[in-house]
Amino acid sequence: MKKIISIVGARPQFIKHAPMQLQLQKKMNALTIHTGQHYDENMSAIFFNELNMPKPDYLFQIGGSKPQGEQTGIMMTEIEKVCMQEKPDAVLVYGDTNSTLAGALVAVKMGIPLIHIEAGLRSYNRAMPEEVNRIIADEFAHLLFCPTNTAIENLKREGIEHPRIFKCGDVMCDMIQLIAPKAARKIKEDYYFATIHRPYNTDDDKRILAILNIFNSLDKKVIFSIHPRTLTRLHQFDIAESDFSNIQFIPPTSYVDSVSYQKYCTCVITDSGGVQKEAYMLGKKCITLRSETEWVETLHNHWNTLVFDHLEDIYNALLTTPTNYIENMYGDGHAAEEIVELIEKHL
């Protein structure tokens, strides 16, 4: 039986890993490293419980407060120790976090086949750390699993073209189809659901204050699921949550609750890559506070709108009605099963 080590460390990766782990453990000795990149209980341990995932075999508890170089270096050191001990047949990484980068670098330096799930995504903004991480993972991956044709074309443009690139849909679609029926309405009134955490939206006091002022002026209440780093910035800037009567600040939610808030909201406002995609899968209009997106398919027919330089464009975007929804654009909910079959075949 082949041994495979999956590396996770951030909230979106737990969601992607849940359906994968359930399939992997049927056919392989499937171990999990949790780097501890997301250290908040609501952003980490609760997910393993809620998604019925086995506890990670290795937990580093590195935390997200360290500088990126130091954080990645510590992760690499600890991942390397595990790989030397376990001698896996492959290392599997997801997406584009520092945990992804650390796992990819250790695998390639140790000569262990690397598997990258969610390969080929590009924002074409190399100022984003995530863009650098995903490019490196794709460059050295032995098996690349792409969620869309656009992702495959992105790889081809970079000269990455070989028989081990596959389109298998998106494993987050697997989870949405499992979780959405459990979603329940939490608020009777109409509302917008927001998540904002990226440094370019939160690390400048004028920027985050402008975002909050617009949220506070909207025609419906804003349920703002506030990331720990965003909350830290508000406190550093002496911005009080109580100054915004139209915003209901809530801590990071469980996955079922997050899907519930999205499913019953009028519109999602976010800067998260995963939430953009979840909104589309749930048939919800989304406004993304970024200048670019990896999930370009969501922009078709106004299901997702990019707003960045001129935040007041949020008002017009909220008035736009999307058209022509495309079913199963990110797969049919069986991506994990297909991916595991291909891994088994190619290992």
Which residues belong to the active site? 197
| DSSP for 207-268, written as a single string | HHHHHHHHHHHSSSEEEEE--HHHHHHHHHTT--GGG-TTEEEEPPPPHHHHHHHHHTSSEE
Question: What is the H or E stretch that residue 326 is in?
Answer: none
| Beta strands 267-270; 191-195: pairing state | parallel
Spatial strand order of the sheet with 58-59 comes to 58-59, 29-34, 3-8, 90-94, 114-117, 143-146, 165-167
- The residue type at 204: D
Residues constituting the chain: 347
In angstroms, rounded to a whole number, what is the distance separating the alpha carbons of residues 259 and 157? 35
Place of tokens 């908040």: 40
CB contact set of 118 (below 8 Å; sequence gap of 6+) = 16, 94, 95, 96, 134, 145, 146, 147, 170, 171
In angstroms, rounded to a whole number, what is the distance separating the alpha carbons of residues 264 and 272? 19
- The region, left, alpha or beta by phi > 0 then psi within -120 to 50, assigned to residue 307 is beta
Beta bridge partners of 6: 32, 92
